[in-house]
Structure 1
């Protein structure tokens, strides 16, 4: 009987190590915290064009600014941590209501890893702009 006990213990250990027969961890690992990057990019005259009912889009030096243009978020090491798209541009009229004043594009990039302190926002064809983690959810860029 003494020989059977070590064999039983060895079999139980082997089962636990190789196949996970022991107690299971029922809680999955917590997902790392994420934040959302969101904001607007505003383009002033004469760097945009528009048609009533069709929205607006960039022109001249900013012709890449249009609905669907890629917005990329980079962390403080330059690694891409999220991507999104510009929404359709909306026109703000001058106070007289006759002429357009500027064109604004909204964007959102979800599931950006939190805790990097600083990030940079890049819209295709434009320079990266650095923002703090605290400002990442309320970015306001203006191009003249």
Structure 2
């Protein structure tokens, strides 16, 4: 046996032992596990208010600059004939006797299906032939969409036309 005593073991120096505050490096988190940032409720509310106001304002500006769609209308055309009491008047003709309210410019009223006035106009140019007086009729801006229309010349009573007849220019009225 030997009487030799082994040399004492020296404690490690501080440079050989990692410090307790030093942690080993951690691997980076994958992108799918990265921390999400959350807005504060105040910032989220303000951001929503700004985006909403901008959207409403943009929509308003766009619609304000647009022309409203024109209503669907047509021009009712046709003819009116006075077969009694017609007489020449220059290049045209007029009514006489009980028909003296009939002349170029006499009022023509178009009524809708409920009896309301839909459009107004006048008898147009007239032509005398064989004891009768023929007038052109052209009433613009009659609203579409009715099942039928009624037309009255002066105060002589209403005649009824289907919408198809009215829009196709098939007004044909005779008085006398």
In the TM superposition, residue 27 of structure 1 has moved relative to its aligned partner by 6.2
Which one has more relative contact order, counting CA pairs under 8 Å at least 6 apart?
Answer: 1
In the TM superposition, residue 28 of structure 1 has moved relative to its aligned partner by 4.8
Aligned match of 1:80 in 117, 132, 141? 117
**Count of residues in Structure 1 that have an aligned counterpart in Structure 2:** 133
Q: Which residue in 1 is equivalent to 2:174?
A: 142
Q: Which residue in 2 is equivalent to 1:106?
A: 136
Determine helix, strand or coil for the equivalent of 1:21: helix
TM-score (normalised: structure 1): 0.80
Distance 1:82 1:49 in 2: 29
Higher share in strand: 1
Determine helix, strand or coil for the equivalent of 2:133: strand
Aligned match of 2:76 in 15, 22, 37? 37
Q: Which residue in 1 is equivalent to 2:94?
A: 57
Q: Which residue in 1 is equivalent to 2:24?
A: none
RMSD value, Cα: 2.2
Conserved 8 A contact 2:80-2:174: yes
Distance 2:156 2:114 in 1: 19
Higher share in helix: 2
1:101-143 deviations in Å (ceiling 9; x for gaps): 2101111111211120110001112111111111112211111
Determine helix, strand or coil for the equivalent of 2:58: coil
Extract unaligned runs of 5+ from structure 2. 1-38
TM-score (normalised: structure 2): 0.67
Determine helix, strand or coil for the equivalent of 2:46: helix
Distance 1:59 1:121 in 2: 22
Conserved 8 A contact 2:118-2:142: yes
Q: Which residue in 1 is equivalent to 2:147?
A: 117
Q: Which residue in 1 is equivalent to 2:50?
A: 11
